[in-house]
């Protein structure tokens, strides 16, 4: 099955956007604070706790080039790891994001696949970039910006995602933002844009749900 986004079990792989809604429905838990409560820690320490939770679960840390956001609401602390731009070449499958709730140690991962062999029940790894992928991604970003006749800053606002999928005759590039999603089809030979589809949508973030970002 060749799909870009797959459905997966609740233990390890809940889609990243659905998870944000999941964390807004907080479960009842012990609110007794101690001196060791993560709310007392700074962002660096909180992120390290999240990394340790993931390492114990997957056997690897989230790569350094992933973006990191940390949020809190009352005693709930959520850390989000994500890679803004990722390219799935033929045969690739990986996690492009992860979310951890520190107190409960709940974690989930965002899968992406361009492989007939990928199995959602297998132990996947985080996205790994290569010089080739970086070069292709940069060319696609430049081509889309030129096609849209805007700067890269306007094309890719804060908290955007660019998901690139290699297909038989080119690439499909999806720009996802909190307010809209644009999908571009590009030629493989010169990366020129063949077509574009757009749709408006509202992606509710943790901030929308009352969480405060930890800086």
In sequence order, what are the residues at sequence separation of 6 or more whose Cβ sits closer than 8 angstroms to the Cβ of residue 193?
Answer: 143, 144, 147, 184, 185, 186
* CA neighbor of 132 nearest in space, from 109, 155, 166: 166
CATH code at position 160: 3.10.450
Residues 38 and 115 placed together within one structural domain of the fold: yes
Number of domains composing the chain: 2
pLDDT of residue 144: 94
Q: Give the pLDDT of residue 15.
A: 42
The answer to whether residue 140 is domain-embedded is yes
Instruction: Say whether both 118 and 150 belong to one domain.
Output: no
User: Residue 91 in 3-state DSSP?
Assistant: coil
Question: Is 151 within a domain?
Answer: yes
Residue 35 — very low, low, confident or very high, per pLDDT cuts 50/70/90? very low
Query: In terms of domains, do 42 and 121 share one?
Result: yes
141: containing domain: 131-200
As a whole number of angstroms, the distance between CA 69 and CA 85 comes to 16
Average pLDDT over residues 36-54: 85
pLDDT band for position 71 (cuts 50, 70, 90): very high
Whether 142 and 117 map to the same domain: the answer is no
Closest CA to 143 of 86, 192, 183: 192
Instruction: Answer yes or no: is 3 within a domain.
Output: no
Residue 11 in domain: no
The residue ranking higher by pLDDT, 105 or 26, is 105
The pLDDT of residue 33 is above 70: no
Q: What is the pLDDT of residue 154?
A: 76
Residues 26 and 109 reside in one and the same domain: yes
Residues 121 and 105 in one domain: yes
Residue 166 pairs in a beta bridge with 171
103 versus 34: the higher-pLDDT residue is: 103
Nearest to 121 by CA among 1, 5, 13: 13
Residue 183, Cβ density class (10 Å: 0-12 exposed, 13-18 middle, ≥19 buried) = middle
Same domain, 39 and 72: yes
Are both 60 and 135 inside the same structural domain?
Answer: no
pLDDT of residue 146 exceeding 50, the answer is yes
More confident residue, 159 or 67: 67
pLDDT digits (tens, 9 = 90+) for 103-118: 999 999 999 999 988 8
38's CB contacts (< 8 A; 6+ apart) are: 45, 46, 49, 77, 102, 103
Same domain, 104 and 207: yes
Q: Does residue 7 form part of some domain?
A: no
Show the CA angle centred on residue 55, arms to residues 54 and 60, nearest 5°: 110
Q: What is the pLDDT of residue 89?
A: 96
Residue 119's pLDDT band, with cuts at 50, 70 and 90, is confident
Average pLDDT, rounded, for the chain: 83
Give residue 207's pLDDT. Answer: 87
3-state helix, strand, coil split of the chain in percent (to 5) is: 25, 30, 45
152 shares a domain with 121: no
Round to whole Å and give the CA distance between 69 and 84.
12
Asked if the structure places residue 106 within a domain, the reply is: yes
Residue 1 forms part of a structural domain: no
pLDDT tens track for 178-208: 888 999 999 999 999 999 999 987 778 888 8
Same domain, yes or no, for 52 and 138?
Answer: no
Indicate whether 125 pLDDT > 90.
yes
In a domain, 183, yes or no: yes
- Does the pLDDT at position 34 exceed 60? no
**Across 12-21, 117-126, 196-205, least confident range:** 12-21
C-beta of residue 76 within 8 angstroms of C-beta of residue 23: yes
**84 and 138 share one domain:** no
Identify the residue with better confidence: 41 or 22: 41
Q: Write down the pLDDT at residue 39.
A: 63
Backbone torsions φ then ψ of 16, nearest 5 degrees: -60, -40
């Amino acid at each position: 099955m060749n799909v870009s986004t797959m459905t997966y079990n609740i233990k390890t792989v809940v889609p990243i956007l659905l998870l944000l809604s999941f964390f807004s429905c907080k479960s009842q838990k012990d609110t007794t604070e101690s001196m060791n409560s993560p709310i007392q820690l700074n962002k660096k320490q909180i992120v390290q706790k999240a990394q340790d939770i993931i390492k114990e679960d997957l056997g690897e840390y989230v790569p350094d080039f992933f973006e990191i956001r940390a949020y809190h609401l009352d005693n709930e602390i959520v850390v989000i790891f994500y890679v803004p731009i990722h390219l799935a070449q033929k045969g690739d499958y990986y996690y492009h994001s992860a979310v951890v709730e520190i107190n409960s140690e709940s974690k989930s991962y965002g899968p992406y696949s361009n492989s007939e062999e990928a199995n959602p029940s297998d132990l996947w790894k985080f996205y790994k970039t290569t010089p080739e992928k970086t070069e292709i991604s940069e060319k696609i970003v430049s081509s889309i910006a030129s096609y849209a006749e805007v700067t890269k800053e306007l094309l890719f606002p804060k908290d955007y995602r660019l998901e690139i999928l290699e297909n038989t005759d080119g690439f499909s590039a999806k720009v996802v933002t909190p307010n809209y999603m644009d999908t571009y089809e590009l030629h493989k030979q010169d990366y020129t844009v063949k077509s574009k589809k757009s749709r408006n949508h509202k992606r509710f973030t943790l901030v929308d749900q009352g969480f405060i970002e930890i800086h």
